[in-house]
Amino acid sequence: MSAAIEIHNATKSYGGRTVLKGVDLTLAAGTVTVILGPSGSGKSTLLRAINHLEKLDEGYVALGGELIGVTVRGDRLKERRERDILRQRSRIGFVFQNFNLFPHLTVLENVVEAPVAQGVRAADARSRALALLTRVGLADKASAYPRQLSGGQQQRVAIARALALDPDVLLFDEPTSALDPELVGEVLQVIRTLAGSGKTLVVVTHEIGFAREVADHVVFLDEGVLLEQGPPAEVLAAPRHPRTRDFLDKVLA
Amino acid sequence: MPHSTPTRLRTLGALAAAALLVSSLAACASDASATGADAAPDGTVTVGAHSNGAATETSIEVSTVESIRDTLPKEVLDSGKLVIGVGALPAGFPPLAFTGDDNETLTGAEPDLGRLVAAVFGLEPVVQNSTWDNLFVGIDTGATNVGFSNITDTEKRKEKYDFASYRGDNLAFQVLASNDWDFDGDYENLDGLTVAVSSGTNQEKILLEWKTKLEAEGKTLEVVYFPDANSTTLALNSGKIDASFGPNPSIAYQNTTSQSGANPTRTAGTFSGAGETLDGLIAATVKKDSGLAQPVADAINHLIENGQYDQWLAAYNLENEAVETSLVNPPGLPLDNN
Amino acid sequence: MSGLSTRVRAASDGGRASATPPGERGAPDDATAPGTPLPPGIDLKRLAERPVVPLRHPVRWVITAVVLVLLLNVVQTLFTNPAWEWSKVGTWLFAPAILKGLQLTLVATAISAVVSFLGGIVVALGRISGNPVLSTLSWLYIWLFRSVPLILVLIFLFNLGNLYPTIGIGVPFGPQLEVPTFTLLSSLALGVIGLSLSEIAYSAEVVRSGILAVDQGQHEAAKALGIPSRRQFTRIVLPQALRSIVPAYVNQIIGLLKASSLLFYVSLLDLFGVVQNLGSTYPTDIIPLLVVATIWYLVLTSAISVVQYYIERFYARGSVRVLPATPWQRVRGGLGGLVRSARSSQSSQSSQSARSSHSSPGGVR
C-alpha cells in the first residue's frame, strides 16, 4: 500500500528568515525521491513538514489526498489536535540523522514501542518486530541496548522501528551523515531494498551515487526555493541551473 | 506484552523502592504529641508523676466545686474539657513542664496545677504541648483554654490576655559548682561576665536592663542566647558562658540532677522576676475577656484554702514561691520595662 | 632558583653546552630535562622491550599519611574521651522514646518524599507546559515556597489549623485536601503537608532539569512514531529523565530527613525533637543523646545511599555499555584480582617471559 504526496506552497520562516518559499512538489506513490541541496537550503525542513514535525506557515501537505496536520475550517487551513496528528504520523515513518533510538529500551522494545502504543496486540507486534529486525540483519541484537551497537546498526534498527507501523511513506533525514564512512554502505543497502517495495520513499542525502542508482526523482532545493527536479539522469547528469551545477561540482569533487 | 509491560512495572517498582526505603523500618503511623489525660480515680489528682526526682509523687484529693463550675463560660462547660496549654517543645523546662522519666508523660508543676484546676471545674484535663510561640497562638485562637506554662504577669501581655496569678516568679543565676562567683543581689557583680538567657522572656528584659546600666558606667555584660535549655547547659559545661539566668525552679532541678554528672552546678543568687520594687508573679493565662480568668482564680483560691495548693507546692519543693491568694490581673511587670 | 633557571634555559635552547653557564653545568636535573639529547651509548630498542616505570607520587603518599594520622587521632579520642559517655549512648540508642521519634522521622519523610515527587512532576509539567497560566502559576508556586523558609511554612500551617476548625490545603492543580484539626493524625498531616509544600517546589525544579536534560531528538522520535502524549512522557521522557533526577532527588530526600526535625513546630517530636526533649529532662545526658541522634541519621542516610546506588544502576541501563559492578561484585572482583596479581608477580619472578595483565603496580620487575 502506498500513497502519493502532494506539497503545495510550503512556506516557513524562523524569526524573520524564510527557509521555505512556496515549494510545490508532487511525488508519485511508490517512488523514491532524493532531495538535494546545500546546507541551510531548507531540505530538512521540507522533509519534516511532510509528517508535521515542522508546522508550515502557509501551504499544505497531503498524503493520498488526506491533509496532514491541518484540516479545512471555513476558508482557512486550521491545525489539527495533537492526538489526530499523532495518529496521522503512524502512516509516515521517519528516520533521523542521529537515529534517536530510545537508549533505555532494548532494540526489540524500540521497535515494538509504536505498535504497542497504537494498540497492536503485544504478541503480534513482537513477531512483526523480529521479522523486521531479521530484514535489517539484526535479529541477534534484539535484546541489546542501542548504545551497545555501532552507528550503522543503530540506524538499521531505526529503520526497522520506522517500518513497524507499516507506513505508506518513509522519510529519511540524512540517514548516513552521522556514520563513519565504512558504515554508510550497510544502511544504504537497507534503504535500497525498500525501494520498489511499494512504499513512497523521500530521502534527504548527500550521497549522489545512491541518488543516481536508486532514485526515481531528484529534487534540488536552494535557499528555500525548488530550483530543479526530474529524473536523476537529467538533474544529476545535465543540471540546467548553475547553482545545481555548482553544488554537484562541490559534492562530487 | 511480554517485553513492554514488565519493563514499565519494573520502572514503577524502582520508583516505589525509592519511596519505601525510608518507611520500611517503620511499621505504622506515629502519635508523638504529648497530650495525656489523667487516669487517676475520680476526686483524686496525682501530681509529680514520673518526675525524675523533681517531685514527690503525691495523690491530692480534689472534688468539683459546683459554685465555681457554674461561673464557667458555656462553651467550655459544653466541651467537658479544659485544654491546658504548655509551651515545652521541643525541650521542656523541668520541674515546671517537661517530659517525665517514662519518656512519655508530660509532667511538671505547671500542667499538674492545670489538672488540679480542671478537677475543681469538674472538667477533663487535656494537656496540649507546643512551642512557646504556638502556646500563645493557641490561646489567641481559642484552641487552648488556659496556659499554665510559667508565664509571667506583665502589663504588656495584659493587652491580649487575662491573668490569674498562682506562684511567685523567682529567677536565679546558675554557675558551675567550681565557680565561686556570687550575684549577692547586686547587678554590679555581673561586670565582665557572659550570661545566657532565653529570648522573649521576662528574665531577658531584666538582664538587658542591667546591661544598659552597666554600660552607662563603662562596664560590660555580655548577654547571649541559645535555642533551648540543652544548648545552654552545654555552653555552661564547656565554659563558653559564665552563668545562666533563668527560672529558679528550673535551675534548682538542674543543680540536683547535675550532681551525678561530670559538671555539677549550683545556684549563685536569686532575684524577683518583677524587678526590685515588685513581686514577680506567675499566672494562668487566658484569652482577654474570655470569662475564664475569674473562675480559674476562684479555683486556685479554693485549692489554697483547702490545702491542696500547699500539697502541690510541697510535692515540687516550691514552697518558697507560694502566694497567699490568686488575683485576677494583679499589677505586672510595667510597660515601660520593655 | 638556579636549578630552575638552568632547566628552563636547557629546555629552550636544546641543551647546547655553550649556552649553559659553566658554574651550573653540574646540576643533576640537566640530564633528564626536556629537550636534553639522549646520552650516547644507550640502546633504545632494548629499553623499549621493558615495561615503562610509572611516575611516583611521593607527595601524595606523605599527604595520605598525615591525613591518616590525624584521622586516627580523632578516632582515638572517640574511645578515650569520657565526655562521649558511650555506655549512656548504648542505653539511649534503642530507648522506646528515641525509636518513636525515629519512626516519626521515617514516616514523615517517606510520605513527604512520595507526595513531593508526584507533586514535583505535576508542577514541573505545569512549568514546562505551553499554557501561560499554568506555567506562570507553577513558577509562582516554586518562587513562593523556595523563598519562604520551611520553619515559617510550618508555623503558618499550624496557626491556620488553629484558626479554622477544618482547613483545605490544595496540591497545586490537584484535589483539595480537607484536614480536621486537633487530632494526632492532623498533626502528622499538617507536618507532612508543610514539608511537602516546601519540598514540591524543589523537586519540581529537580524534575524539570531532568526533563530538560533529555535530548530533544527523543521527543521528536516519540512524536514521529505517533506515540500518544501521555505515553511519550511516561515511557520515553520520564525514564530517561530519572537518570539525572534520582541523584538530585535523593539529595532532597536526605535534606528532608533532617528538615523533619522542624516538625516540633506542629507539636510533633521527630528523632531530633525527642533528643532535645529528653535532654531537658536529663541534662547530664545531653551529649550522649546528641550522639544517638547522629548515629541514627548516619544509619538512615547510609540506607538511602545504598538504595540510591541500585536505583541509579537500574536507570543507567542502556546509557552505558556495561553496567558498573555492584559494591559486592567489586569486593569479590577486587579479592580475585589481588589473588591473581599475587600469583602473577610470583610467576614473573621465576620466569620473566610470561607477564599477566593483572600484575600489580608495585610488582617485582
pLDDT (0 to 100) of residue C344: 58
Radius of gyration of chain C (CA): 31
Of A86, A90, A145, the CB nearest to C317: A145
Percent of chain A whose pLDDT exceeds 90? 87
Residue B28 falls inside a structural domain: no
Mean pLDDT score of chain C, rounded to an integer? 80
Which C residues 289-318 touch A at CB under 8 Å?
315, 317-318
CB of A117 within 8 Å of a chain C CB? The answer is yes
Residue C256's H or E segment, with its range, is helix C238-259
Three cell numbers at C175? 484535589
pLDDT (0 to 100) of residue A9: 95
- Do B63 and B127 fall within a single domain? yes
Judge contact between B256 and B249, C-beta under 8 A: no
- Do B249 and B284 fall within a single domain? no
- Pairing mode, if any, of strands A17-27 and A5-14? antiparallel
Of C82, C101, C110, the CB nearest to B19: C110
At C346, is the pLDDT very low, low, confident or very high (cuts 50, 70, 90)?
A: low
- C286:B234 CB<8 A: yes
Of C188, C246, C279, the CB nearest to B29: C188
Contacts A114 to B, Cβ<8 Å: none
Judge contact between B131 and B90, C-beta under 8 A: yes
Contacts B2 to A, Cβ<8 Å: 122-123, 126
- Pairing mode, if any, of strands B146-147 and B81-89? parallel
- A126:B3 CB<8 A: yes
Please state the pTM of the whole predicted model: 0.76
CA of A217 to nearest chain C CA: how many angstroms apart?
A: 24
Least confident of A8-12, B16-20, C340-344: B16-20
- Minimal-distance CA residue of chain B relative to A107: B3
Least confident of A87-91, C150-154, C156-160, C253-257: C156-160
Interface test with A, best of B1, B3, B9, B10 (most A CBs within 10 A): B3
Judge contact between B121 and B114, C-beta under 8 A: no
- A126:B7 CB<8 A: no
Interface size, chain A vs chain B, as Cβ–Cβ contacts under 8 Å: 22
- Minimal-distance CA residue of chain B relative to A143: B3
Q: What value does the mean pLDDT take over residues B161-171?
A: 92
- A104:C319 CB<8 A: yes
At B28, is the pLDDT very low, low, confident or very high (cuts 50, 70, 90)?
A: very low
- Do C155 and C32 fall within a single domain? no
User: Is pLDDT of C5 > 50?
Assistant: no
Judge contact between C260 and C106, C-beta under 8 A: no
Judge contact between A106 and B3, C-beta under 8 A: yes
Indicate the SS3 state at residue C364: coil
User: Is pLDDT of C18 > 50?
Assistant: no
pLDDT (0 to 100) of residue C268: 85
Residue C337 falls inside a structural domain: no
DSSP 8-state secondary structure symbol assigned to residue B275: -
Contacts B21 to C, Cβ<8 Å: 303-304, 307
Exposure string (b/e) for C55-93, b if CB count within 10 Å is 16 or more?
eeeeeeeeeeeeeeeeeeeeeeeeeeeeeebeebbeebe
Neighbours of B8 (CB within 10 A): 14
**Unique residue bearing C-alpha cell 552597666:** B214
Tell me the per-residue pLDDT of C85-127, one tens digit each, with 9 for 90 and over. 888 899 999 999 999 999 999 999 999 999 999 999 999 999 9
Tell me the per-residue pLDDT of A114-151, one tens digit each, with 9 for 90 and over. 999 999 999 999 999 999 999 999 999 999 999 999 99
| Residue range(s) defining the domain that contains residue C198 | 95-315
Residue B48 falls inside a structural domain: yes
- Do B163 and B298 fall within a single domain? yes
Phi, psi of C13 (to 5 degrees): -115, 25
Residue C54: how many CA atoms within 13 Å on its side-chain side?
Answer: 7
Rounded to the nearest 10 degrees, what angle do helices B132-141 and C150-163 cross at?
A: 30
Q: Which chains touch C (3 or more CB pairs under 8 A)?
A: A, B
Tell me which residues of chain B have a C-beta less than 8 Å from any C-beta of chain A: 1-5, 7
User: Is pLDDT of C152 > 50?
Assistant: yes
Residue B37 falls inside a structural domain: no
Interface test with A, best of C225, C235, C323 (most A CBs within 10 A): C225
Interface test with B, best of A116, A124, A127, A133 (most B CBs within 10 A): A116
Q: What value does the mean pLDDT take over residues B117-135?
A: 92
Q: Locate the domains of chain A by residue range.
A: 1-91+169-178+201-253, 96-166
Q: Which of B91, B106, B130 is nearest to C266 (CA)?
A: B130
Give the Å distances, CA to CA, from A89 to A48, A93, A103, A113, C228: 11, 7, 22, 14, 11
Radius of gyration of chain B (CA): 23
In angstroms, the CA C189 to CA C205 distance is 24
Which pairs count as long-range contacts for A144-147, CB under 8 Å and 24+ apart, including other chains? A144/A106, A144/A107, A145/A103, A145/A104, A145/A105, A145/A106, A145/A107, A145/C317, A145/C318, A146/A99, A146/A101, A146/A102, A146/A103, A146/A105, A146/A107, A146/A110, A146/C318, A147/A103, A147/C318, A147/C319, A147/C320, A147/C321
- Minimal-distance CA residue of chain B relative to C279: B230
Percent of chain C whose pLDDT exceeds 70? 75
pLDDT (0 to 100) of residue B312: 94
Residue B23 falls inside a structural domain: no
The sign one gets for the Cα dihedral C341, C345, C351, C354 is: positive
Higher pLDDT, B331 or B70: B70
**Helix ranges (DSSP H) in chain B:** 5-23, 66-69, 74-79, 109-121, 132-141, 202-216, 229-238, 248-258, 293-305, 308-315
At C49, is the pLDDT very low, low, confident or very high (cuts 50, 70, 90)?
A: confident
At B1, is the pLDDT very low, low, confident or very high (cuts 50, 70, 90)?
A: very low
Contacts A105 to B, Cβ<8 Å: 7
- Do B151 and B48 fall within a single domain? yes
Q: Is A141 left (phi over 0), alpha (psi -120 to 50) or beta?
A: alpha
pLDDT (0 to 100) of residue B21: 38
Residue B27 falls inside a structural domain: no
- Do B245 and B312 fall within a single domain? no
Q: What value does the mean pLDDT take over residues C263-291?
A: 88
Higher pLDDT, A63 or C172: A63
Q: What value does the mean pLDDT take over residues B54-63?
A: 91
C169: domain CATH number is 1.10.3720.10
CA B186 to chain centre: 27
**Unique residue bearing C-alpha cell 505504622:** B28
- Minimal-distance CA residue of chain A relative to B11: A104
Three cell numbers at B331? 499589677
Mean pLDDT score of chain B, rounded to an integer? 83
DSSP 8-state secondary structure symbol assigned to residue C236: I
- Pairing mode, if any, of strands A169-173 and A92-95? parallel
CB of A53 within 8 Å of a chain C CB? The answer is yes
pLDDT (0 to 100) of residue C163: 61
Judge contact between B143 and C162, C-beta under 8 A: yes
- Do B155 and B175 fall within a single domain? no
Q: What value does the mean pLDDT take over residues C34-38?
A: 75
Three cell numbers at C233? 512522557
Q: What value does the mean pLDDT take over residues B71-96?
A: 92
Contacts B14 to A, Cβ<8 Å: none
Percent of chain B whose pLDDT exceeds 70? 85
- Minimal-distance CA residue of chain B relative to C83: B262
- C240:A82 CB<8 A: no
Cβ-proximal residues to B241 (8 Å cutoff; 6+ apart), any chain: B194, B195, B196, B224, B232, B235
- Do C121 and C33 fall within a single domain? no
Interface size, chain A vs chain C, as Cβ–Cβ contacts under 8 Å: 80
Exposure string (b/e) for A47-62, b if CB count within 10 Å is 16 or more?
bbbbbbbbebeebbbb
User: Is pLDDT of C6 > 70?
Assistant: no
First to last CA, chain A: 39
Tell me the per-residue pLDDT of A184-228, one tens digit each, with 9 for 90 and over. 999 999 999 999 888 999 999 989 999 999 999 999 999 999 999
Of C234, C253, C286, the CB nearest to B233: C286
At C332, is the pLDDT very low, low, confident or very high (cuts 50, 70, 90)?
A: confident
Contacts C315 to A, Cβ<8 Å: 104
pLDDT (0 to 100) of residue C104: 92
In angstroms, the CA A218 to CA B331 distance is 102
pLDDT (0 to 100) of residue C43: 82
Tell me the per-residue pLDDT of A65-84, one tens digit each, with 9 for 90 and over. 999 999 999 999 999 998 99
In angstroms, the CA C9 to CA C16 distance is 9
pLDDT (0 to 100) of residue A15: 85
Cβ-proximal residues to A46 (8 Å cutoff; 6+ apart), any chain: A7, A10, A20, A23, A25, A35, A221
Contacts A102 to C, Cβ<8 Å: 218, 221-222, 236, 240
Torsion angle of the four alpha carbons B318, B323, B329, B332, in this order, in degrees rounded to the nearest 10: -70
- Pairing mode, if any, of strands B58-61 and B44-47? antiparallel
- Do B296 and B308 fall within a single domain? yes
What are the beta bridge partners of residue C58?
Answer: none
Phi, psi of B335 (to 5 degrees): -60, -40
Q: Number of structural domains, chain C?
A: 2
Length of chain B, in residues: 338
Q: What value does the mean pLDDT take over residues B79-102?
A: 91
CATH 1.10.3720.10 fits A1-91+169-178+201-253, yes or no: no
Tell me the per-residue pLDDT of B272-291, one tens digit each, with 9 for 90 and over. 876 655 667 899 999 999 99
Rounded to the nearest 10 degrees, what angle do helices B308-315 and B293-305 cross at?
A: 80
Three cell numbers at A87? 495518529
- Do B248 and B154 fall within a single domain? no
Tell me the per-residue pLDDT of C204-213, one tens digit each, with 9 for 90 and over. 999 999 999 9
Residue C285 falls inside a structural domain: yes
Q: Number of structural domains, chain B?
A: 2
Phi, psi of A19 (to 5 degrees): -105, -25
Judge contact between C112 and C192, C-beta under 8 A: yes
- Minimal-distance CA residue of chain C relative to B102: C97
DSSP 8-state secondary structure symbol assigned to residue C326: P
Listed residues B224, B242, B272: the one ending a domain: B272
Residue C76 falls inside a structural domain: no
- Do B82 and B158 fall within a single domain? yes
CA of B301 to nearest chain C CA: how many angstroms apart?
A: 30
- Do C302 and C168 fall within a single domain? yes
B224: domain CATH number is 3.40.190.10
Of C155, C188, C314, the CB nearest to B133: C155
- C220:A96 CB<8 A: yes
User: Is pLDDT of B113 > 60?
Assistant: yes
Residue C137 falls inside a structural domain: yes
- Do B314 and B217 fall within a single domain? no
Q: What value does the mean pLDDT take over residues B66-84?
A: 94
- A105:B7 CB<8 A: yes
- C281:B99 CB<8 A: yes
Q: What value does the mean pLDDT take over residues C127-151?
A: 94
| Residue range(s) defining the domain that contains residue B105 | 44-169+280-330
- Minimal-distance CA residue of chain C relative to B100: C281
Q: Which of A238, A248, A234, A241 is nearest to A37 (CA)?
A: A248
At B54, is the pLDDT very low, low, confident or very high (cuts 50, 70, 90)?
A: confident
Give the Å distances, CA to CA, from B50 to A243, B33, B247: 98, 17, 21
Predicted complex ipTM: 0.92
- C104:B23 CB<8 A: no
At C183, is the pLDDT very low, low, confident or very high (cuts 50, 70, 90)?
A: very low
Q: Which of B217, B228, B225 is nearest to B192 (CA)?
A: B217
Residue A164 amino acid letter: A
Judge contact between C242 and C314, C-beta under 8 A: no
- Do B234 and B122 fall within a single domain? no
CA of B13 to nearest chain A CA: how many angstroms apart?
A: 16
CA C223 to chain centre: 35
- B2:A126 CB<8 A: yes
Q: What value does the mean pLDDT take over residues C264-271?
A: 86
- A113:C228 CB<8 A: no
User: Is pLDDT of C31 > 80?
Assistant: no
Q: Is the peptide bond before B227 cis (omega within 30 degrees of 0)?
A: no
